[in-house]
Amino acid sequence: MGSNARARRARRKASVVRGRPHDNGLRVERIDVSDAPVGPDIVVPPLEHVLQAIAGAPAADDWQAIRKVVVPIFPRARPFPAGYPAPLTALVPPGVLVAFAADVGPALMMITKQQLEVLGITQTELVAEGLANLIGHAAQVPRTAIVRQSVGDLPVAALQTGLSIGSVLVLVPDQLRRLFGPTPALFLAPLRDVLLGLRADVDLDVAAWLFDEFASQDPNCLPPIAYRFDGERVSTASLGGVAGLARGRLA
């Protein structure tokens, strides 16, 4: 990770043409790197790989196929373009909004309220299936995937799962305990698949600086929120007053 605390080899899910429907009826999220450059440590899948994944994705009305790949995701900090259909969101413990998407490899295909009606399911069913899939994916992540280093005199435990679920592990405290141990900690989720574990008593200004070091590399970063873990439960704390993102970087 190095002294500048940048996310080495950080991967994110890329997608294609903003807001445009595809043959299967789903919509996908994309960064246009021409006007939203990513940092040197962000790897973007080739567009042809994304298109292939979309072509093989489940149809928008095929719940039996979608239910196997739907996952919860944190909505990105940067607003969607005007006219882009808002993803369906739900409030889940520890009191955070999550969206839901079909994970088809190099693309995350967002589920909207309109699509929920097409699928013929309730929001409760979608939330339950997404969280169940998250628990199943999380169980595949080994503790050896955690990299423990220091930034100055601050110990940092960094996790990148390779499954695009790093950030949302804060929704499953049992998995946090399994992976990071029962010691109270403060977690940061700056990018989709990056989770950083810090000492529970870390100064929030320091935590916000570290968050910004990672988040500033990707315009599709996540909102500046810290997650306090007491060994059993997770609660939230805002970094908005001190994080660089709150100073208008995403405007």
pLDDT in tens, 92-125: 999 999 999 988 765 778 899 888 889 999 999 9
Rounded Cα gap, residues 203 and 196, in angstroms: 15
**pLDDT value at position 200?**
97
42-93 pLDDT, tens digit per residue, is 555 555 655 555 555 577 788 998 999 999 999 988 887 777 788 899 999 9
Rounded Cα gap, residues 158 and 166, in angstroms: 10
**pLDDT value at position 57?**
59
**pLDDT value at position 106?**
57
**pLDDT value at position 141?**
96
137-178 pLDDT, tens digit per residue, is 999 999 999 999 999 899 999 999 989 899 999 999 999 999
**pLDDT value at position 205?**
92
**pLDDT value at position 88?**
92
What's the mean pLDDT in 1-16? 36
204-238 pLDDT, tens digit per residue, is 999 999 999 999 888 888 999 999 999 999 999 98
Q: State the DSSP H helix or E strand holding residue 147, giving kind and residue range, or none if neither.
A: strand 146-151
**pLDDT value at position 218?**
85
**pLDDT value at position 129?**
97
Residue that the structure tokens 């805002």 belong to: 238
